[in-house]
Structure 1
């Protein structure tokens, strides 16, 4: 995993991460996982609230060590002119600035893209906000939950006889962070040809909307509005979750004709594959509820483990509905380094999700968890990178700039 012969793929990139919580820092996390030097900036008087998110142990939030992993944490008060001047001193040493403030915030601090690029023309500014940097809604406050609502995913999530629901994670923020990371890498690639930086503008609602499949042509051409459908996709069958004899739930996806035949054989009901109600994709969709009832009447006679073994041997996609305990003890997760244990100065061995995606020659790596101390790397950056004297750094601290 990243050595002298094969350094991490982004090891020559330096990123300054502004902002807080999930969307912008998620972008920084991805870049850091693949070797970028990510310098996270927090106001000295307003630490990132994510430090206290998630369940807490010994007063520390358990999300922060994951989201801030591989990052160097410094403090800097950008609301003060002296802090803004110090930030400008960083810019010649930086490839990327990541931020997720409301549009206009950087400009209010005299740190908009024009001002930054005047110092460093190759700089890439990655901006994530609720509604983007332009348009009639740009000045509105926007959290991931609002992006999920306006991007469409909330409307189609849940059961048809109940109000829309959210997923159990901040999916809108994470999607925006992913799109912003993609945009950043695209801009870095383009810069290798032009030598020029640019702005990457990601909106939370657009990141959600970008994964909403064909809902727009369905409405624009057919007048059809996709509705909530619970655990199924209407017309795609069988693809559902089914109760098992031991009180678990198993997901089975056998909607392709050939896979459905294999499922029928595993059930001991090969004749179902020839039944006119189920023989084709369209027919199965038209008799979806009836088919699901037949399948569940079978799954309820066996334990989840028995079903998983039978379906694996038959080549039918299936999986237990996992909770954290299932993931933690699953051998496949461990074999693919998807649960890593890293040394943490407070918690000792700290388990966290591994790096995605996997690269064959230069894979990413978790080098350290998120630093628990506020401004832990101030001297490393201000003295080591900018060349300030220790007394100058002490003065900045006494003045509340760092």
Structure 2
């Protein structure tokens, strides 16, 4: 059973909000992607299937618009606005990611739509929200990430900050928007009316990174700096800070390991040292370390911390990540491996859960592999329902649900309304 199958969502978003609509669609909602005539600008974004630039072959579009039906409609035209209001009468949710005030200027803001349908919920996804001195500023991913505080601590100390390899500001914001929308749907069953959801990408990222970034300032008066792979702050002698890696190189990639001292890490650390000794590796000052009673405060400088890490790093470089992962599980060391995209496709845990989904693309004569649902429900379905829509693919289907005859649709298309 599709858990949200009783709800209809009108998705007006661009790439800032695609993921919100996709998630609601994967949960079973009837999500209708509303594009301008000729197609959404996001269709021009690569990469493309077989590297052929084509608005119907954008892999980016495919990835973020599954589980949606698709129609075309020009809401800047009077006839288009009236048609949209007719659609709103049938809808539970409207998603949009235009600049603040744009929908109000068209006469399609929340107050106007509420007059058409008191139960409608409108969710807006923007860089900085609907109010405040930054509300009208442009906010691509790198800007939202920078002002969200997450870029400042990423990278090397002698170089400018780095962003993540893949834009994620609006993916995170979209998930907050999903949560807000679902809560509003539940609340509607209590209060009998819809409401307006204002989702800010800056605040979504601020919320995500606040524990690491703001926590050190709030509790220690320290502004987190960039330290390359040395992401984890430790307290050494005289209440000074030093930094340890959480990502280590090995023979064929990287592993994740946060060295924990004290009783919680005693078993794994002791076993690691014994393993190093059995391999004939020089363990340096680790040989005098009492893992149960000693912590980082016995170190006097970052250099002493680095000395320990150099010993560990040189050891890890002798092994593959799979060898390290298996041995760490055997000795009780909390270690993980850094998976490449190729690794993930064959990772046994993901394969066993059936995480990856084959989606049929008849127009391409093939199926494409998509990431599936991260969650399972004992009494409900969550996953991709259909491939991303073609331009105007469901125009006849959706508009006929409003009672519009095919002949009228042809006229509207000729006028550039749909």
Measured at CA, do residues 233 and 123 of structure 1 come closer, stay the same or move farther in structure 2, by a change above 3 Å? same
Correspondence for 2:36: 43
Q: Take 1:189 and 1:265, find their aligned partners in 2: how far apart are those partners?
A: 51
| Cα drift, residue 238 of structure 1 | 6.2
User: 1:276-318 CA deviation, whole Å, 9 max, x = no partner?
Assistant: 5885454388754233222212212222222111011223232
| Cα drift, residue 92 of structure 1 | 1.3
1:344 aligns with 2:361: yes
Correspondence for 1:392: 408
Residue pair 1:267, 1:298 contacting (<8 A) in 2 also:
no
Measured at CA, do residues 362 and 343 of structure 1 come closer, stay the same or move farther in structure 2, by a change above 3 Å? same
SS at match of 1:85: helix
1:365 aligns with 2:371: no
SS at match of 2:95: strand
Residue pair 2:28, 2:381 contacting (<8 A) in 1 also:
no
Of residues 235-244 and 144-153 in structure 1, the stretch that sits farther from structure 2 once superposed is 235-244
| Cα drift, residue 174 of structure 1 | 0.7
| Cα drift, residue 264 of structure 1 | 2.9
User: 1:180-201 CA deviation, whole Å, 9 max, x = no partner?
Assistant: 1111111111111001111110
Measured at CA, do residues 153 and 86 of structure 1 come closer, stay the same or move farther in structure 2, by a change above 3 Å? same
Residue pair 1:29, 1:70 contacting (<8 A) in 2 also:
yes
Q: Which runs of 5 or more structure 2 residues have no equivalent in the other structure?
A: 236-242, 278-282
Of residues 108-117 and 283-292 in structure 1, the stretch that sits farther from structure 2 once superposed is 283-292
Task: Pick the aligned partner of 2:7 from 13, 17, 21.
Answer: 13
TM-score (norm 2): 0.87
| Cα drift, residue 77 of structure 1 | 0.2
Correspondence for 2:337: 320
SS at match of 2:209: coil
Measured at CA, do residues 273 and 36 of structure 1 come closer, stay the same or move farther in structure 2, by a change above 3 Å? farther
Q: Take 1:145 and 1:26, find their aligned partners in 2: how far apart are those partners?
A: 18
Q: Take 1:299 and 1:369, find their aligned partners in 2: how far apart are those partners?
A: 43
User: 1:218-242 CA deviation, whole Å, 9 max, x = no partner?
Assistant: 4356542111122222218865222
SS at match of 2:17: helix
| Structure showing greater Rg | 2
User: 1:76-133 CA deviation, whole Å, 9 max, x = no partner?
Assistant: 0011011000000011110000011110110111101000000111111000111110
Correspondence for 2:289: 275
TM-score (norm 1): 0.91
SS at match of 2:119: coil
User: 1:304-361 CA deviation, whole Å, 9 max, x = no partner?
Assistant: 2221110112232323222211111222221122221121121511101111233233
Residue pair 1:17, 1:28 contacting (<8 A) in 2 also:
yes
SS at match of 1:213: helix
Correspondence for 1:234: 233
1:298 aligns with 2:298: no
Residue pair 1:250, 1:319 contacting (<8 A) in 2 also:
yes
- Give 1:2-401 correspondences, 5 Å limit: 7-21=1-15, 23-57=16-50, 58-59=52-53, 60-214=57-211, 215-216=213-214, 218-219=216-217, 222-231=220-229, 232-235=231-234, 240-244=246-250, 246-255=251-260, 257=262, 258-268=264-274, 272=286, 275=289, 279-283=293-297, 288-345=305-362, 346=364, 348-371=366-389, 373-383=390-400, 385-401=401-417
Of residues 304-313 and 207-216 in structure 1, the stretch that sits farther from structure 2 once superposed is 207-216
SS at match of 2:354: coil
Q: Which runs of 5 or more structure 1 residues have no equivalent in the other structure?
A: 1-6
Correspondence for 2:239: none
Aligned alpha-carbon RMSD (Å): 2.3
Measured at CA, do residues 241 and 167 of structure 1 come closer, stay the same or move farther in structure 2, by a change above 3 Å? same
